């Protein structure tokens, strides 16, 4: 079991460039989500999905798009990178059954926008 796998681990972008952060899980979890971690702000929810074909916005969705075509994959797209998007990004997944909602996180992607 690989758990939650994120790629890449590190990325440097120029302002205005676009890119996709990949996230895959092999635990058949219904729920997947993206967080960003900034100093002093903790982890904040960007987008989430409760199943294939269903996505919704979290606290800080502006500048990001997501899609969920399969149960396993939940990519995060940065449309036009800005320095304010410099952060560490975490993908997480879990079941949705109450009492069994333990979240598992990927190893993170450290993104710098210059």
Partner 1 sequence: GIQVEQSPPDLILQEGANSTLRCNFSDSVNNLQWFHQNPWGQLINLFYIPSGTKQNGRLSATTVATERYSLLYISSSQTTDSGVYFCAVEDSGGSNYKLTFGKGTLLTVNP
Q: Is 59 in the site for partner 1 (CB under 8 A)?
A: yes
- Count the residues of the shown chain that bind partner 1, applying the rule CB under 8 A: 25
Q: Which of 31, 67, 77, 82 binds partner 1 (CB under 8 A)?
A: 31
Query: What is the smallest separation between the CB atom of 79 and partner 1, expressed in angstroms?
Result: 22
**Does residue 82 touch partner 1 according to CB under 8 A?**
no
> CB of 56 within 8 A of CB of 48?
yes
Cα separation, 105 vs 5, whole angstroms: 8
Residue 92 binding partner 1, by CB under 8 A = yes
């Amino acid at each position: 079991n690989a758990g939650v796998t994120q790629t890449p681990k590190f990325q440097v972008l120029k302002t205005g460039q676009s890119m996709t952060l990949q996230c895959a899980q092999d635990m058949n979890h219904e729920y997947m989500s993206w967080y960003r971690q900034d100093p002093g702000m903790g982890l904040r929810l960007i987008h989430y999905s409760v199943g294939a074909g269903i996505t919704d916005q979290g606290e800080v969705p502006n500048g990001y798009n997501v899609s969920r075509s399969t149960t396993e994959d939940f990519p995060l797209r940065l449309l036009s990178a800005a320095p304010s998007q410099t952060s560490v990004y975490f993908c997480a997944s879990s079941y949705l059954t109450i009492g069994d909602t333990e979240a598992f996180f990927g190893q993170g992607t450290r993104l710098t926008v210059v």
